[in-house]
A = this chain, B = another copy of it.
């Protein structure tokens, strides 16, 4: 086992620096290389490392130069979505522990290739889905494993995040989402909501997703936003966006559970992942932030029926009992990191795996099966909401795959 992980970070737009910040506080991590297509971003990232007292990292605008470095243990890939897989394949072929940021893919082939190259090379692969480490998500995973929800029947998830500003100022801020919204219509960002649900339902570990249908609404939100916020941009003002404002995807699992995912990124709203777990004995719902466990509710049922808000925000009480240990005593590093601590936890899990202490808690089969939702939803929508089969990327192994990634920060 390694005592120190020498890391290269490829992709330094907005996510890369967000990840570098907590990494620089970890004593067993050295950010040894930074890379982006834009030189100014590379410089900025190198300065972050120096300011934190670290050795000056290797700097380049060509990711292949990072992969060619001798003294590197691992790479984090945080580029634009469409380049994740190409770089991940090259990194695995080079034998570098490969940590890939999230996003979907428009090519089913991407998913098959990730799995194939990982299996052929044996290189450990970690999919950096931070929401798997969310406080409520881990609490519900804990409660589900203790059987408190009974047999789980359905989960909801959503990526409800008003990104109109980020998307429509894509050219100015060099963000790639703008192009996606022009040319695709699908569930383009499934993993923040699907990841934690897949962990709870044992996807790729005894269970798998077998089928989906997707439905897209019309596309109005971005145009309306541009009309009021940037009417001077004639090109954008006359752009026809393909991406529907709301995309609803319903997935069926082999064990009979259903999962509803909602993409909702181009209308005004407050952020929500609408994380919901519903079983024969109870449920948790993010909107309202409540736990409903049948056996505890009998006394107050009539009252709640009359005034549902009486139960809202009771989840904090359950957190005291059922929070994952990681959230019970959050470290300073965790509290100071992004997204309320999730980023720290997923990075620690990744670093521990890169050191050889655990297996990747979110592996290549998870990545492939979660990412393929994007391309399959696109095909479903193109076909008038046709049902699409979801491949089994484990090639049957899911039946006997069990919890292996034991150790701190492991989800399994």
Contacts and interface: CB of A to CB of B under 8 A. Distances in A.
A387 B213 CA distance: 9
A311 interface: yes
Contact of A245 (B153, B225, B252, B288): B153
A280 B224 contact: yes
Contacts of A308: 270-272
B218 A153 contact: yes
Given A257-B217, A270-B311, A248 B250 contact: yes
Given A215-B252, A258-B248, A294 B311 contact: no
Contacts of A384: 211, 387
A216 B280 CA distance: 15
Chain multiplicity (copies): 2
Contact of A268 (B215, B225, B294): B294
B272 A153 contact: no
A368 to B, nearest CB: 22
Scoring A218, A221, A280, A304 by chain B CB atoms within 10 A of each residue's CB, the highest score goes to A280
A284 to B, nearest CB: 11
A278 interface: yes
Nearest to A210: B384
Contacts of A279: 267
A213 B150 CA distance: 28
Given A215-B252, A217-B257, A278 B269 contact: yes
A282 interface: yes
A31 interface: no
A380 to B, nearest CB: 9
Contacts of A269: 278, 283, 292
A220 B153 contact: yes
A270 B313 CA distance: 14
B257 A218 contact: yes
Given A216-B258, A218-B255, A385-B213, A287 B285 contact: yes
Scoring A150, A220, A304, A313 by chain B CB atoms within 10 A of each residue's CB, the highest score goes to A220
A260 interface: yes
Given A246-B154, A250-B250, A221 B280 contact: yes
A385 B270 contact: no
A72 interface: no
Contact of A224 (B151, B215, B246, B278): B151
A312 interface: yes
A217 B304 CA distance: 26
A256 interface: yes
A289 interface: yes
Contact of A305 (B258, B270, B297): B270
Contacts of A292: 268-270
Interface in A193-235: 211, 213, 215-218, 220-221, 224-225
A250 B151 contact: no
A281 interface: yes
Interface in A301-317: 304-305, 308-309, 311-313
Given A270-B305, A287-B288, 11 more contacts: A150-B220, A151-B224, A213-B215, A217-B257, A218-B257, A220-B256, A220-B280, A224-B281, A246-B258, A269-B283, A287-B287
11 contacts: A150-B224, A154-B264, A220-B256, A221-B280, A248-B260, A264-B278, A268-B297, A287-B288, A288-B312, A384-B387, A386-B386
Interface of A: 150-151, 153-154, 211, 213, 215-218, 220-221, 224-225, 244-246, 248, 250, 252, 255-258, 260, 262, 264, 267-272, 278-283, 285, 287-289, 292-294, 297, 304-305, 308-309, 311-313, 384-387
Report, nearest first, the 5 A-B pairs whose CB atoms are least far apart. A218-B256, A268-B294, A154-B246, A224-B280, A217-B258
